[in-house]
A and B are shown apart, each in its own frame.
Chain A
Amino acid sequence: MRIPCPLCGPRDRREFYYYGADDYLRRPEEGAPPEAWDAYLHLRDNPAGVTRDLWHHEMGCSAWLVVTRNTVTHEVISVRLASEKEAAK
């Protein structure tokens, strides 16, 4: 699998560290109930198909990426910088 980093271009999977589903981008507010933290940290849709997850370009530019990809075919559909996605919201 290759991931096209927006800054570095297509790079081998070995250069990236997988962090997990993009649920991690939706951090609960301070004081949120434990259920919200459990959902944020642990509960997952875990789809067989298109998913969106976070990867760190550890051995490249060190950017955090939001990767939209297919968990069945391993096709990478789109990649953007996590910082951009946050700004776009």
Chain B
Amino acid sequence: MRYSGLKVITEGLFGNKGWRPAWRNPEPKAEYDAIIIGGGGHGLSTAYYLARNHGMRNIAVLEKGYLGGGNVGRNTTIVRANYFLPGNSEFYSHSLKLWEGLEAELNYNVMHSQRGLINLFHSDGQRDAFARRGNSMVNQGDDAILLDRDGVRELLPYLDFEQTRFPIYGGLLHPRGGTARHDAVAWGYARGADRRGVDLIQNCEVTGIDIENGRVTGVQTTRGAIRARKVGILVAGRSGQVAAMAGMRLPIESHVLQAFVTEGLKPVIDHVISFGMGHFYISQSDKGGLVFGGDIDFYASYASRGNLPMVEHVMEAGMTLMPMIGRAKVLRSWGGIMDMTPDGSPIIDKTDIDGLFIDCGWNYGGFKAVPASGWCMAHLMATGESHAVARRFRLNRFLTGHLLDEEGTGSQHNLH
């Protein structure tokens, strides 16, 4: 069924009786050409592009819970291409271009809103660093505008420009940055994959990976054994456990990242804004809630809820930057389990086991990556070669020293 404005109107006129489920609910088959472990954003987009770009049809996505129930449905939905390092820059640039065509591509409203992202800076040093980042974004073909204090004041008059502890010097505006509806991205890819014949199998937890003579032959699941010559692991915060089923240890530690949302308010914050002192960022959802967050909780954790010190820090930073939000009521807070790598950059690579591939290490930034990660992982699984824009996301880069330390803080698990 194609979705369209006309369809909405005609369905409205005839009692909305014509809508059908957006995807099938098939039983797992005994064998597939490729198995994708994990029905989050990355798993679903990989399955979609395996079918769309590489003509594969006999594919299953195995999800232990329900589609989109992981981080893809828990994030703060920021989509941007403001990376600096070669390796990251071309990848996120590619991803943003895919985002810009995604709704037409999927025939699904993912509510991609390029409302502009503003990273504030608060010192001469920070300004220099952002100016340099902006130049590298422009060189990559993306957009960046360096705003001075008055430029920021014009766009964001409600910030506290008077406080002296962290004076606002200006901001780097990335006009094509913005947000999207997170669930819709998962649903859109799920529907697109299903329509191309991919079996989306929910409530199916992978409990073992079968390997014979150094080659993957299939997986064990809570719904029985399933054979496949190609298996991709895309389980975000659970990467360590699933990789262990294949005898691997990963350069990953799982940490909790929290987010918060207020009651719905009239439109008040038009952009995505990040505070350069203390970690805080905010946008307003289409429902009106202020959606905001900060840093990870900074210790290894699988609890899908956060700690109080970080709640406090985020609230303090928010009040410092924009005191006007102090009267909004926080409705909910939640946490997601992040797959943190030592250098803060992801991995899309083969493993030492033939036919077994892994896509992980998205840290707190994997939502914007959903289209390009699926695109590149599908390329890798279908052709055996890394895609040009993902060729530096190597699994062994910590061994070889080819780090991608975007923040420049060092390569250690507790730093990013």
User: What separation, in Å, do the CA atoms of A35 and B238 have in the docked complex?
Assistant: 24
For chain A, the bracket of interface size reads: 20 to 34
Residue among B240, B244, B301, B342 with the highest chain A CB neighbour number at 10 A: B301
Question: B373-411 CB contact bits vs A (8 Å, 1 = yes)?
Answer: 000000000000000000000000011000000000001
CB pair B253–A44 under 8 Å, yes or no, is yes
Cβ A46 vs Cβ B300 within 8 A: yes
Q: Which of B29-37, B128-136, B141-149, B302-310 contacts A (4 or more CB under 8 A)?
A: B302-310
B302 with A18: CB separation less than 8 A: no
Q: Are B254 and A46 in contact (CB under 8 A)?
A: yes
Bound complex: CA of A20 vs CA of B309, how far in Å? 19
Q: Are A13 and B253 in contact (CB under 8 A)?
A: no
Contact residues, B274-310 vs A (CB, 8 A): 298-303, 307, 309
Which residues of the other chain, B, contact A74 by a CB distance below 8 angstroms? Answer: 301, 303, 307
Interface status of B109 (Cβ within 8 A of chain A): no
Q: Is B251 in contact with A44, judged by CB distance below 8 angstroms?
A: yes
B253 touches A20 (CB 8 A): yes
B241 within 8 A of A: yes
Q: Which of B238, B241, B307, B399 contacts A13 (CB 8 A)?
A: B307
CB contacts (< 8 Å) of B298 on chain A: these are 18
Known: A14-B309, A19-B414, A47-B240. A42 touches B398 (CB 8 A): yes
Can you list the 3 inter-chain pairs with the closest CB atoms, starting with the nearest?
Answer: A46-B240, A42-B251, A18-B299
Not counting A42-B342, A74-B301, a sample of 18 additional A-B residue pairs whose C-beta atoms are within 8 angstroms of each other reads: A12-B309, A18-B299, A18-B414, A20-B253, A20-B412, A21-B300, A38-B251, A41-B398, A43-B250, A43-B251, A44-B252, A45-B249, A46-B240, A48-B238, A48-B254, A71-B254, A72-B302, A74-B307
**Interface residues in chain A, defined as those with a beta carbon under 8 Å from any beta carbon in chain B:** 1, 12-14, 18-21, 34-35, 38-39, 41-48, 51, 53, 71-74
Supply 18 A–B pairs (Cβ within 8 Å), ascending by A.
A1-B307, A13-B307, A19-B414, A20-B300, A21-B253, A21-B413, A38-B399, A41-B342, A41-B398, A41-B412, A43-B251, A44-B413, A46-B240, A46-B300, A48-B238, A48-B241, A53-B300, A73-B303
